[in-house]
Amino acid sequence: MILAILLVLAAAGPAQAGERQLLFYNHAWGTFGRATADAVEHSAYLKKFADFEVRTTTGADGKVWTGRYLRGRETYLEVFGIGDVPGKDGELGAAGLGLSTERDGDLDTLKTKLRAAGQKPIDYLQTRDFGDGKPVPWFDSMFLVEQYDRFGAWAMEYRDEYLNDPRSKVGPARFPGDVTRERYLPDTYQNRLMRDITLIHLAVTATDLAATLPLLRAGGFLVVSSPGGVVASRGGTTMWLDSVPDGQTGLKRVEFSLNRAAGRHVERLGTSTLVVGPGARAVWTF
């Protein structure tokens, strides 16, 4: 199947010349059974494989979630167990996809494009409480639907209030309007194996897939049909979205680039399997 996707992308050719990409893969999350989530949380190997953290976060409207984070240079992955996030996002088979801008103001440009295409963007401000009860604006986000079946995708742009807060431990801007993923994420990845996420495979309902396509296209991704769904590329991470019946949804596969070549290692984490190497590549199947 991976070979078929590569052939589809090759046949599609380059993206339209002169079109500036507005969105890039930021992170994805999936909700798994407790055995898998616990195995991820307590794995000694993952702490060597990636910049790994288990964190409970208080966001907007007092929403609290506990995630297991594997962070790279520009991209990251978030793993939930059942009930680790409120509502249906905390149910088995739920998943999400965050796409972010790299330059301040590109989110507004994106919304203009979407409105011109007949879409109605829904704005949402996410905040983060560092523990003092005073929420800090974290990022502006934008959705295209208020409700989804099992999978939601959104666009996001980091806020200066967060980036400039010393508690966020974010690096200095490299250019005016720098809201890049690389600035946001710490440099700890340099001392681990994981460098970045190169492919993400998600199984979603037909309704959720249809709601995601306008966002991918307006964001500047190259979107082509694949057997059973679509593949979106450009920006370093390929996003493979299959259309499946409800009950078969979820995060299915993640591929990583590594900072250096590694010998083959197999790490079983609950019902999932992470295969590292041989070489500078790893694959995690769920």
Domain extents for the chain? 20-285
Question: Binning pLDDT at 50, 70 and 90, where does residue 198 land?
Answer: very high
pLDDT for the residue numbered 19: 73
pLDDT for the residue numbered 14: 47
For the residues 247-251, what does the mean pLDDT come to? 98
For residues 239 and 237, give the distance between their C-alpha atoms in angstroms, rounded to a whole number. Answer: 6
**pLDDT by residue (tens digit) across 34-80?**
999 999 999 999 999 999 999 999 999 899 999 999 999 999 999 99
pLDDT for the residue numbered 47: 97
Whole-model pTM: value is 0.93
For the record, the structure tokens of 176 come out as: 């005016």
For the residues 250-259, what does the mean pLDDT come to? 98
| Sign of the CA dihedral with 150 first, then 33, 25, and 171 last | positive
Q: Do 233 and 272 contact (CB within 8 A), yes or no?
A: no
Question: Binning pLDDT at 50, 70 and 90, where does residue 18 land?
Answer: low
CA distances from 281 to 53, 150, 199, 284 (A): 21, 29, 11, 10
For the record, the structure tokens of 88 come out as: 């249906």
Q: Is the peptide bond before 137 cis (omega within 30 degrees of 0)?
A: no
Sequence-separated (6 or more) residues with CB below 8 Å from residue 280: 257, 258, 259, 260, 261, 262
pLDDT for the residue numbered 17: 44
For the residues 158-179, what does the mean pLDDT come to? 96
For the residues 100-115, what does the mean pLDDT come to? 98
Residue 16 pLDDT > 70:
no
